[in-house]
Amino acid sequence: MRQPAGWLVTLSIGTALVLLLLCVLVFPRLLHPPLSARALQGVASVEKRVELQQAQARLQDDVRATLLQGVGGLLLVAGVIATWRQLQVSREGQITERFTRAIDHLGSTRTHVRLGGIYALERIANDSPADRRTVTEVLAALVRSQSRWMVGTPDVPEHPSPEVDEQLPWLEHRAIDVHTAMLVLGRRPPSPDPLPLFLGRVDLRYAHLPNARLPSTSMRHANLARVWMPGVDLDHSDLTDADLRQANLQRARLTNANLHNAHLQATDRWRVDLQGADLRGATLQGADLRGATLRAADLRGANLHGALLEGTDLTDVHADATTVWPDGFERR
């Protein structure tokens, strides 16, 4: 790569020298040619001839000065552009080096080194918007690999498990690198076109993620039992068959989310926004949905036995004979 760069520099210097010569020797004489003897035949006075020739030379000098100023300005602009480009190349090289070092840290056996790698990736994503998608994919892969919930395999309980394990430590205590990666993913800068997250079949029980921004996230078959995520943004997310039992989703946004066959039993008062959500076959037994918004939600096949629906917005919900309502509940 060095030889083409050398030729480019040589060509640029040669072009600049040729342009300077043309500005000094050629262009002024073309624009204001010297007065020939024939042109001065009608001028009898020698002093007048000399004066006319000197005036023509001054015109050439003025053109020469103007052209040289223009060339100097062009060279200055070119220098600024070259400097800016060099800074960009240097910055990109630094980001690449930082990214490589952060990835190396993620593979460390020491917890604090892995955490340093996660925070370094967050800094790279904030400094370089072009690298945000890559950083998002790397952190999502970390969560998937370090916190698997392999539905249907003999190594894990059935999904959902018969009972919620109320003795399990918080995620930040049992898998701090996974918890930190989720924190970073949940505080990504807002974007009009959010980057999708793929977190299917992950074990995030007892995760502590208040006000996390996780729109357009795929969490199919994930175990989210007893997560503490008040104010979470999960708009347009796919939570098919997700276990959200005893989750804290107060003021959560789940508009147009896919919650087909999800398990949403909860005793806390959610006031959750489920407008347009797909809740077909969802289990909502005993859920406290007072004050929640289920406008235009699809509740066909959903089980709301024992659910609290006082003040719940059920405008234009889709329900059928398979929808199980609380005892004594009458839709208006």
Q: pLDDT digit of tens for each residue in the chain (332 aa)?
A: 334 455 666 766 777 777 777 776 777 777 777 766 666 666 667 777 667 777 777 777 777 788 778 777 777 777 777 677 776 666 676 777 888 899 999 989 999 999 999 999 999 999 888 889 999 999 999 999 999 998 766 776 788 888 888 899 999 999 999 999 999 999 998 877 778 899 999 999 999 999 999 999 999 999 999 999 999 999 999 999 999 999 999 999 999 999 999 998 766 677 899 999 999 999 998 888 988 999 999 999 999 999 999 889 999 999 999 999 998 887 76
Handedness of CA 239, 240, 243, 249 (dihedral sign): positive
Structural domain count of the chain: 1
110-138 per-position pLDDT tens digit: 999 999 999 999 999 998 888 899 999 99
- Residue 203's DSSP bridge partners are 223
For residue 199, being part of any structural domain is answered with: no
Q: With respect to residue 266, please indicate whether it lies within any of the assigned structural domains.
A: no
- 133 within some domain: no
68 found inside a domain: yes
10 Å Cβ neighbour count for 23? 19
CA distance 206 to 166: 9
311-321: b or e for each residue (b if 16 or more CB lie within 10 Å)?
ebbbeebebee
Rg for the chain, CA atoms, rounded: 36
Task: Give the C-alpha separation, 278 to 301, whole Å.
Answer: 11
In terms of DSSP H, where are the helices of 27-45? 27-31
Residue 324, in any domain of the structure: no
- Backbone angles phi and psi of 110, in degrees to 5: -95, 130
83 within a domain of the structure (yes/no): yes
8 A C-beta contact, residue 195 and residue 136: yes
Within a domain: 73: yes
- Let me know if residue 81 belongs to a domain: yes
- Nearest partner of 185 among 237, 140, 227, 152, judged by Cα: 140
Separation between Cα atoms, residue 83 and residue 271, nearest integer Å = 55
Structural domain of 79? 10-28+54-92
Name residue 250's beta-bridge partners: none
